[in-house]
Amino acid sequence: MKVLLIDDHALFRAGLESLLKRRGVEVLVSSNAHDGVQSLIDDKPDVVMVDLRMPDIDGVRTLQMMRKKNKTIPVIILTTSDAATDLKDCLRHNASGYLLKDMDPDDLVIALGKVMKGELVVAPELAGTLAAIIQNRSDDVDDERSTFSDLSVREMEILSHLTEGQSNKVIARHLGISDGTVKLHVKSILKKLGLHSRVEAAVLAANERIFSNRRGS
């Protein structure tokens, strides 16, 4: 596993690099967004970890820059902030994960493996915050917004895979369709539900237990 770490704090970079290398992870480091994006292009890491609070170009903007160069690379926001607004902003811009810097290194390695498989990873301490974000968004949208009943059979099928944290590529393989077709269906799902990201759709479906009966059968 090759990981790119982008963080402006030299001491943190060095410490995390050492911890991960002792666990068999290859680590590339950059101190700013521009160098990080160049490393993404040149070194082709498997996963990117980005500090949220950086001078000049913060983590969210760095995430956006990464997505312009590579739409599928897993990008994890690594931060000290447990603020709901920060979590919401990062997920809205399609972060693959949101983890806190004080987490155990072994748990971080596990999380890295999960995002490589297409799963979403969020710090366990923020599970309640994530649920509240999705619920508040559901409560605030217009009453005329489409409901799950407005989704097609195929869209519901894809949504069920989204609740498992699967990537478009993984979903496409399961359903025997192309990545592009999955992407179009996901876009339609978000539009119908009045949501901004696949994460919001997945958590909303999970909270309302849309697929609970199916999984229990």
Map residue 45 onto helix, strand or coil: coil
Q: Is residue 134 included in any domain, yes or no?
A: no
Residues 99 and 167 in one domain: no
Number of domains the chain contains: 2
Instruction: Tell me the CATH number at 148.
Output: 1.10.10.10
Give the per-residue pLDDT at 139: 52
Residues 67 and 36 in one domain: yes
Residues 28 and 95 in one domain: yes
Q: Is residue 216 included in any domain, yes or no?
A: no
Region for 100 from its dihedrals, namely left if φ exceeds 0, alpha if ψ lies in -120 to 50, beta otherwise: beta
pTM: 0.66
First to last CA, the chain: 37
> 106: domain range?
2-125
Give the whole-angstrom CA distance, residue 114 versus residue 198.
17
Give the per-residue pLDDT at 217: 38
Tens-digit pLDDT profile for the chain (217 aa)? 999 999 999 999 999 999 999 999 999 999 999 999 999 999 999 999 999 999 989 999 999 999 888 888 899 999 999 888 898 888 888 898 999 999 998 999 999 998 888 778 888 888 878 777 766 654 544 444 456 778 888 999 999 888 887 888 889 999 999 888 998 998 888 888 877 777 778 777 776 666 654 444 3
Q: Is residue 55 included in any domain, yes or no?
A: yes
Instruction: Tell me the CATH number at 34.
Output: 3.40.50.2300
Q: Is residue 136 included in any domain, yes or no?
A: no
Residues 34 and 118 in one domain: yes
47 close to 3: Cβ distance less than 8 angstroms? yes
Q: Is residue 131 included in any domain, yes or no?
A: no
Q: Output the 3-class SS for 141-204.
A: CCCCCCCHHHCCHHHHHHHHHHCCCCCHHHHHHHHCCCHHHHHHHHHHHHHHHCCCCHHHHHHH
Q: CA-CA distances (angstroms) from residue 126 to 85, 105, 190, 210? A: 12, 18, 23, 22
